[in-house]
Amino acid sequence: MSRDYLARKLAQAALTIVAIAILNFLLFRLIPGDPVRSLLPRNVSTQQKQELRERLGLDQPLLPGLYQTPQGLRLKVEQIPDTLVENQFVTYLGNLASLELGRSFFERKAVLDVIADRFWPTVILVISAEALALLLGILIGIRAGWKRGGPFDILTINPALVLYAVPLFWLAMLLLFFLATPNGIPVFPSQQMTTPGRQFAGPLEAIPDVLAHLVLPAFSLALGLFAGYALIMRSSIIDVLGEDYITTARAKGLRENDVLRRHAIPNALLPTVTLVALTFGYVLGGAIGVEQVFSWPGMGTLIVRSVTQKDFPVLQGLFLLITISVVLANLVANLLYAVLDPRVRR
Amino acid sequence: MNLLSSWRRRAAGFWRLFRRSRQGLVGLGILSVFILVALVGPELVGRVDRAGTFDQMLDPSGGHIFGTDRAGRDLFKVWVHGTRISIAVGIIASLITMVIGAAVGIVSGFIGGRVDTALTALSNFFYVLPTLVLAIVLATILGPSLLNVIMVIAITSWPGTALIIRSQTLSIKERMFVDRARAYGAGNVRLMTRHVLPNVFGLILANTTLTIAAAIFLETTLSFLGVGDKNTFSWGRVLEESFAAGALTLGKWAWFVPPGLGVVLVVLAFTLVGGAFDEILDPRLRAREAGRAEEPPEAVAGAVVGT
Amino acid sequence: MALLEIRDLVVHFRIRGGVVRAVEGISFDVETGEAVGLVGESGCGKTTTVLAINRLLPPNGRIVSGSIRLDGEELTALRRGAFRRKRWKEMSVIFQGAMNSLNPVLRVGDQVREPILLHEPGVTRREANRRVSELFELVGINPARKKQYPHEFSGGMRQRVMIAMALANRPRLVFGDEPTTALDVMVQAQILELLERLRREFGLAMVLITHDLSVVAETCERAVVMYAGQLVETGPMELLHDRPLHPYTLRLMRSVPDVEGPRDLGAGIPGQPPDLAAPPSGCRFHPRCDHAVAACLAAFPPGRSFGTGHRVACHAVSDEGRLRAPSELPLLSGAAVVLAAEESGAELAMLDHPDDPPGVEGAA
């Protein structure tokens, strides 16, 4: 990988993250109404409000000289020099740098701790779903593309096209209905990550129970994802099979299987592998709905909860975490492509 | 003016190509049915009314083919009204998306220079952000109303369109006739509206079709997650209510299956039609998908030379 | 018995709304150690012929009839597995290495080694690696570059890799499909020199496809001239050059100046090669031929031999082996031919291709 390429991609990612930090700041200052009022019970005194305002730093200007007043934004030019450092944006940046994301409005905890509790369940769900989806998608895509127009292609690609149009949460609802309620065949648990009320001697003891709870959410997510991977892999294989080097491989006397395995697949995998990282944001989005259906205690249900409770600090923290991880996933996609494709590698 | 007849001729040519795409025709068929339901359905089935206790949570029957909900509303009527709302939201949101995306794309590609750098950076930035998460946050901040949901969809969806239109604009700009028109002293605005816009129009159309699918998808998900308009029953909102009311455990499948199926079919239909448009616009794609058997370079050369 | 014997080979391609008659009954031989040039304008069926011999036709292409014998063995009758075991070991192809014929994600050394390990099961990996190094030295590449990828090579060097690969199993017959096209003149000369040296060293038979006559003149003992899928003339290179019999060959040779240098075929020939989905009746060259007579429209003439392997298929050539001048012939030249073809079109088309209505040329 050329140093230039690496440097350019790193710089891009860094710039994007800075832009996200700014957007995050602006978005949550756009909330209509007095932010303090939504935090406190209705019957508190003006003085209490003022105290909270000061404690949260809301009396400071947003940016140098830019004040948020009940009448809207007001720019006081003469105040700019005095508030170059003492403004909400600088405070916000300082807090970000020290990973101080504030406290949840509803749980008596720091935002970071609230999110930390919900981090691993989502990671487990997303990774198992991705693994499943990739496996299915790649295998089916290769087979379908190789025998394009054949029965396998027609029988897999049309359902994949339909699956691509199914909202993930609805797929989750159907799976839950048919496989976790008495209305279908209740083979799997329907809610949470572990059986409620059950005590485990240690983390190892919990694994079978967690796995049982994982099956349906992971499958819902994977079914929605695999379709995209299968379609990309298929068209990628079709493209590659038309390349001259495939003719060369056939001319050399390779079996069709080896032509596919040694010459076509390594080339066709490139776009698919990159797609995994590029669609990371979409996957996280899909996970929100699926978690909601199965009450999976991850970041998705946390987002929905903080939306309904208007727990803005938590929502802000999640937004930051998710967007930044998506940017990093994009960076990984670019670097991965460079590692896998010798043409970019240098 | 020959403008009208030229458009008509173009449309006829377009239809001739479209007719060849089986997937496009299937999509168009499904779509016509749903558009018809959305247009006249709500008036045909009448208002959705709450009803007394005895009419609540009924199972599907001759009187209520999808049953009733907690407030005794007829779920079939709710579904028909939901069809109109979901499709309308999808179409309006993607029209706004298109206007923003096309404007940014054309200006960015045509003007070039720093304007292009800035607009492309902005598009790329919003393109990278996870759509659903940004949409949830925006919808929460703006507050739950149908208009806000439409705006949120547009704000989160325009960058993809802008990037596609920009690259198409760049290639059009390269072509001769713009230079010739410029020589006659036409201004930038005139060039963009009279020369670039008609040439990217096909692409805009194809892209709008695909964006509608994405917009309906997004609206459904947002409503299901509870950031949609609480007073309007789109399909997504019906799904949210059914889920919150425990329709899954109660076995009330007719509450949540029809709206979901509606979303799937409409999204699929728009995707199929958009895919067919794309094929018509991109000859390379068309050749690949249509010509099951690739022609050998030599034979093609011979055939082409002979014409 | 010749090393390679092609008899009455017919290859068709199915396309939307018709059939492309790409190769229509060609026959020629390649002797052991002989270099034969396959010449003609692009689209005349040269590449299709080589692809057909090597079973590399795309899915819509098919050998309709004819025989391909290698060392007396009928290749068209071989089962898939049996044919695969012969591939590359007995005959290999030098594709346009400058294009995309090498796999971009595999190291070039591994690509050259692949057929050795595939066809010679007794050979160890180490021995195969040593042979790859030898091959690289043979074609003038530093063996240390085995570990590099195709994009790290220039067009000429990639062509050398391709040649090394083609020689990996020491075949007796090598096809070169425009091996020097897309290379600059200096590199072209080097590659041709390399091919010539290797051919003599290994006693290779070689079939060289090119649209560049000067390449054939330099390297080949014999040439096969094709026009629109039909073989019009074949013979020793000097004979074709000094005393061509077929009007098409005559035009080809005249289009090459005495000064050496690349020259595209057909540059000096008025008119366009025909649409092979609806080819002209009889001799497909007749619409562009000054010597065309009525018989040319009716049927493709049988090949007649005139000693020393010189064979020509033309109605205008006399029995003594002389191309009659237009003044000696009941003329049907230029536009007159086209008119005549249109007038008698229905009947002529019936003679040749009952399916094709007349006058549909260009409708594809």
- B291 chain-C contacts, CB cut-off 8 A: 15-16
Terminal Cα-to-Cα distance of chain B (whole angstroms): 33
Q: Which two tokens stand for residue C54?
A: 């090597």
User: What pLDDT, on the 0 to 100 scale, is given for residue A1?
Assistant: 57
Whether B83 and B259 have beta carbons less than 8 Å apart is answered as: no
CB contact under 8 A, B298 and C15: no
Judged on CB neighbours under 10 Å (0-12, 13-18, 19+), A67 is middle
- B298 chain-C contacts, CB cut-off 8 A: 22, 42-48
CB contact under 8 A, A30 and B217: no
Residue C335: pLDDT over 60: no
Q: Which two tokens stand for residue A70?
A: 């009940």
What number is the average pLDDT over the span C241-270? 66
Best to test chain A binding among C47, C88, C114 (most A CBs inside 10 Å): C114
Residue C304 is inside which H or E element, if any?
strand C304-305
User: What pLDDT, on the 0 to 100 scale, is given for residue A42?
Assistant: 60
Residue C236: pLDDT over 60: yes
CB contact under 8 A, A165 and B267: yes
Per-residue DSSP letters for C186-226?
HHHHHHHHHHHHHHHHHT-EEEEEESBHHHHHHH-SEEEEE
What number is the average pLDDT over the span B151-157? 88
pTM over 0.90, yes/no:
no
Q: Which two tokens stand for residue C79?
A: 């089962």
The label of the residue with tokens 């991880």 reads A325
C35: helix, strand or coil: strand
Q: Which residues, 6 or more positions from B101, have their beta carbon under 8 angstroms from its beta carbon?
A: B157, B158, B159, B160, B161, B162, B164, B165, B207
Judged on CB neighbours under 10 Å (0-12, 13-18, 19+), C203 is exposed
Count helices and strands in chain B by DSSP H and E runs: 14, 0
- B306 chain-C contacts, CB cut-off 8 A: 272-278, 361-362, 364
Q: Which two tokens stand for residue A15?
A: 């710039």
| A254 interfaces chain C, CB cutoff of 8 Å | yes
Residue A84: pLDDT over 80: no
**Shortest Cα distance, chain A CAs vs residue C11, angstroms:** 18
What is the torsional sign of CA A71, A72, A78, A83?
positive
What is the Cα–Cα distance from C105 to C100, expressed in whole angstroms? 11
Residues C45-67 have pLDDT tens digits of 888 899 999 998 888 888 988 89
B45: helix, strand or coil: helix
How many other CB atoms are there within 10 angstroms of residue A54's CB atom?
11
How many other CB atoms are there within 10 angstroms of residue C297's CB atom?
24
Q: From chain B, which residues contact A within 8 Å (Cβ)?
A: 125, 128-134, 136-138, 140-141, 143, 213, 217, 220-221, 224-227, 239, 243, 248-249, 251, 253, 256-257, 260, 263-265, 267-268, 271-272, 288, 292, 294
Whether A308 and A106 have beta carbons less than 8 Å apart is answered as: no
Q: From chain B, which residues contact C within 8 Å (Cβ)?
A: 290-299, 301-303, 305-307
Residue B305: pLDDT over 50: no
Q: Which of C58, C59, C273 is facing B302, going by the closest CB pair?
A: C273
How many other CB atoms are there within 10 angstroms of residue A221's CB atom?
26
Whether C24 and C280 have beta carbons less than 8 Å apart is answered as: no
Judged on CB neighbours under 10 Å (0-12, 13-18, 19+), B81 is buried
Best to test chain A binding among B153, B224, B273 (most A CBs inside 10 Å): B224
Q: Which amino acid is at A83?
A: T
Distances (CA, A) of C292 to A115, C255, C301, C345, C358: 88, 20, 12, 16, 19
Per DSSP, C121 falls in state T
- C277 chain-B contacts, CB cut-off 8 A: 303, 306
Judged on CB neighbours under 10 Å (0-12, 13-18, 19+), C97 is buried
User: What pLDDT, on the 0 to 100 scale, is given for residue A85?
Assistant: 74
Residues B203-216 have pLDDT tens digits of 888 888 888 888 89
Mean pLDDT over each residue of chain B, to the nearest integer: 77
Residue C10 is inside which H or E element, if any?
strand C4-15
* Half-sphere CA count of C37, side-chain side, radius 13 A: 29
Nearest-Cα residue of chain B relative to residue C50: B298
| A346 interfaces chain C, CB cutoff of 8 Å | yes
Q: Which two tokens stand for residue A103?
A: 């406290």
- A289 chain-B contacts, CB cut-off 8 A: 221, 224-225
Least confident of A68-82, B121-135, B244-258: A68-82
Higher pLDDT, C289 or B107: B107
- C178 chain-B contacts, CB cut-off 8 A: none
Per-residue DSSP letters for C259-300?
S-S--BTTTTS-S-PPPTTSPPSSSTTGGG-TT--HHHHH-P
| Beta pairing class for C304-305 and C311-312 | antiparallel
Least confident of A217-226, B74-83, C347-356: C347-356
- Give how far the C-alpha of residue B172 lies from the chain's centroid of Cα atoms, to the nearest Å: 25
User: What pLDDT, on the 0 to 100 scale, is given for residue C297?
Assistant: 81
B287: helix, strand or coil: helix
CB contact under 8 A, A244 and C96: yes
Best to test chain B binding among C15, C57, C64, C272 (most B CBs inside 10 Å): C15
CB contact under 8 A, B296 and C22: yes
Against chain C, the chains showing at least 3 CB pairs within 8 Å are A, B
Nearest-Cα residue of chain C relative to residue A338: C105
B194-201's contacts with Cβ under 8 Å and 24+ in sequence apart are: B196/B106, B196/B109, B196/B110, B196/B169, B196/B172, B197/B102, B197/B106, B199/B168, B199/B172, B200/B102, B200/B105, B200/B106, B200/B165, B200/B168, B200/B169, B200/B172
User: What pLDDT, on the 0 to 100 scale, is given for residue C259?
Assistant: 44
Best to test chain C binding among B17, B20, B294, B305 (most C CBs inside 10 Å): B305
Against chain A, the chains showing at least 3 CB pairs within 8 Å are B, C
Phi/psi of residue C234, each to 5°?
Answer: -145, 150
Residues C89-104 have pLDDT tens digits of 889 998 875 568 888 8
Question: A254-283 b/e with 16+ CB inside 10 Å = b?
Answer: beeebbbebbbbbbbbbbbbbbbbbbbbbb
What is the Cα–Cα distance from C338 to C341, expressed in whole angstroms? 5
3-state SS string for C129-156: HHHHHHHHHHCCCCHHHHHCCHHHCCHH
User: What pLDDT, on the 0 to 100 scale, is given for residue A63?
Assistant: 75
Beta bridge partners of A72: A69
Distances (CA, A) of C108 to B244, C164, C165: 61, 10, 9
Q: Which of B125, B239, B249 is facing A170, going by the closest CB pair?
A: B239
- B296 chain-C contacts, CB cut-off 8 A: 13, 22, 47-48, 51, 57-58, 61
What is the Cα–Cα distance from C193 to C214, expressed in whole angstroms? 13
Residue C358: pLDDT over 60: no
Best to test chain C binding among B20, B294, B295 (most C CBs inside 10 Å): B295
The label of the residue with tokens 């997004």 reads B218
Mean pLDDT over each residue of chain A, to the nearest integer: 82
What is the Cα–Cα distance from C229 to B37, expressed in whole angstroms? 59
**Shortest Cα distance, chain C CAs vs residue A103, angstroms:** 51
Distances (CA, A) of B253 to A184, B61, C133, C358: 11, 13, 70, 64
CB contact under 8 A, B128 and A181: no
The answer for C 225-284 residues in CB contact with B (under 8 A) is 228, 272-278
Residue C363: pLDDT over 80: no
- A250 chain-C contacts, CB cut-off 8 A: 56
Residue C173 is inside which H or E element, if any?
strand C173-177
The label of the residue with tokens 């050398």 reads C160
Length of chain C: 364
C36: left (phi over 0), alpha (psi -120 to 50) or beta: beta
Residue A322: pLDDT over 80: yes
- A260 chain-C contacts, CB cut-off 8 A: none
User: What pLDDT, on the 0 to 100 scale, is given for residue A291?
Assistant: 92
Phi/psi of residue C212, each to 5°?
Answer: -105, 100
Residue B202: pLDDT over 80: no
A4: helix, strand or coil: helix
Nearest to A39 by CA among A23, A22, A56, A24: A56
**Shortest Cα distance, chain B CAs vs residue A170, angstroms:** 6
Whether B144 and B157 have beta carbons less than 8 Å apart is answered as: no
Q: Which two tokens stand for residue B94?
A: 């993607």
Higher pLDDT, A64 or A326: A326
Residue C1: pLDDT over 60: yes
Residues A110-147 have pLDDT tens digits of 888 888 888 888 999 999 999 999 999 999 999 988 88
User: What pLDDT, on the 0 to 100 scale, is given for residue A108?
Assistant: 77
Length of chain A: 346
User: What pLDDT, on the 0 to 100 scale, is given for residue C314?
Assistant: 83
| Beta pairing class for C222-227 and C230-236 | antiparallel
- A270 chain-C contacts, CB cut-off 8 A: 105
Residues B88-115 have pLDDT tens digits of 999 999 999 999 998 898 888 888 788 8
Best to test chain B binding among C14, C21, C55, C60 (most B CBs inside 10 Å): C60
Nearest to B71 by CA among B227, B248, B235, B245: B245
Nearest-Cα residue of chain B relative to residue C22: B299
Residue B284: pLDDT over 80: no
**Shortest Cα distance, chain A CAs vs residue C55, angstroms:** 8
CB contact under 8 A, C228 and B305: no
